[in-house]
């Protein structure tokens, strides 16, 4: 994207987290869009191009088994293979990390993973992946 700012989609069902993550990355000069659900993210992806998606694992806080972030990563890999995904969560287990990060025949499901307790590291992670 020579001459243009990188475009990032942030997906989280909690408004406070969407704003926090948007602020962290907008401060670094990235163009940011937000979605609050899997369907909202897919709608934006169908009409716009993103360099990176930062998605929460659980996109329905009321459902403890929800893993819509992994579903989103799977669909992105299949339909928009040039778009990278960072999975962010407060509920990460080793099983989830393994499922997201261990490569299969198509590569790993996500480009990186970060716990919500370490979101201060997100701007550096994005810079290493995309540059400014």
- Any domain includes 26: yes
Other beta carbons less than 10 A from residue 90's beta carbon = 14
3-state secondary structure of 22: helix
Residue closest to 132 by CA, chosen among 3, 9, 22: 3
2 found inside a domain: no
pLDDT tens-digit series, residues 6-41: 999 999 999 999 999 999 999 999 999 999 999 999
CB 11 within 8 A of CB 59: yes
Length of the chain: 132
Q: Over the stretch 76-128, which tens digit does the pLDDT of each residue have? A: 999 999 999 999 988 766 777 777 777 777 778 888 988 888 999 999 999 99
Q: pTM value?
A: 0.91
Domain CATH for 85: 3.40.50.2300
Domain-embedded: residue 59: yes
> How many domains, in total, are found in the chain?
1
Is residue 130 a part of any domain in this protein? no
Structure tokens at 58: 């659980």
User: Has residue 131 been placed in a domain?
Assistant: no
Rounded-to-integer distance, Cα 128 and Cα 36, Å: 26
């Amino acid at each position: 994207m020579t001459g243009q700012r990188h475009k990032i989609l942030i997906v989280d069902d909690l408004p406070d987290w969407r704003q926090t993550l948007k602020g962290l990355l907008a401060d670094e000069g990235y163009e940011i869009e937000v979605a609050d659900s899997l369907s909202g993210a897919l709608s934006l992806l169908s009409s716009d191009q993103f360099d990176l998606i930062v998605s929460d694992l659980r996109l329905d806080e009321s459902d403890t088994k929800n893993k819509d972030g992994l579903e989103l990563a799977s669909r992105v890999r299949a339909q928009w293979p040039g778009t990278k995904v960072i999975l962010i969560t407060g509920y990460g287990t080793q099983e989830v990390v393994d499922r997201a990060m261990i490569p299969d025949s198509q590569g790993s499901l996500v480009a990186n993973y970060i716990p919500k307790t370490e979101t201060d590291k997100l701007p550096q992670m994005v810079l290493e992946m995309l540059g400014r």
